[in-house]
Amino acid sequence: MRTLAMDLPEDWVRYPVGGFHLVAAAPVTEAAERMFTDGMEPGGAPPEPELAANIVATTYAGEPAGLCGLNRLYVVEDVTCTVGGLPARRMDLTRWTGRNNIFTRRWLVQEALAAGRATLEISASCLISDYQQLTAVFDAAIASARFTVSPGATRGQPEVLPAEPAALRAVA
């Protein structure tokens, strides 16, 4: 079995979330903080988690989730690339959440398995106002991505990424 490791800036916080390879968030940027405090009313809602840039990596069985038909989501770019030396697809997306414009850079890595396919999805998201400064951080994290192989895989067993879906959980 392979595990995924990536280097992140030291001010990013990693959260242990069962079923995910990586869940990490950056400190909230000044632009995001200003956007929140400028519109804040006394006793108003707390800040939204989407104000902090984040990277989430998970594996699921089957083909990548389709994006067709999703409201207020736009594909800006769709290109081939590599992640940790494996062939991948990178998509830049924008979406409107009803309160914020979000930029997401999504990498999809698929590995052939004896019983089907599995997809490793790495998504890096931030507010659109922050994407120019954060895409370099996202790309550097992906450039540092490496897969380590468990000892069982070196004894003739197939090397696969875990393909069990995990329940999506909010990270505070």
Q: Could you tell me the pTM of the whole model?
A: 0.74
- pLDDT (mean) for 56-85: 80
The CA-CA-CA angle for residues 34, 36, 76, to 5°, reads 85
Write down the pLDDT at residue 160: 41
How many residues comprise the chain? 172
Between residues 138 and 43, the one the model is more confident about = 138
- What ranges do the domains of the chain cover? 2-40+47-154
CATH number belonging to the domain at 2-40+47-154, selected among 1.20.140.10, 3.40.1000.10, 3.40.1350.10, 3.55.10.10: 3.40.1000.10
* Sequence-separated (6 or more) residues with CB below 8 Å from residue 27: 11, 12, 52
Residue 102 has pLDDT above 60, yes or no: yes
Cβ pair 128, 103 in contact under 8 A? yes
What are the residues facing 81 on neighbouring strands?
88
What are the residues facing 30 on neighbouring strands?
none
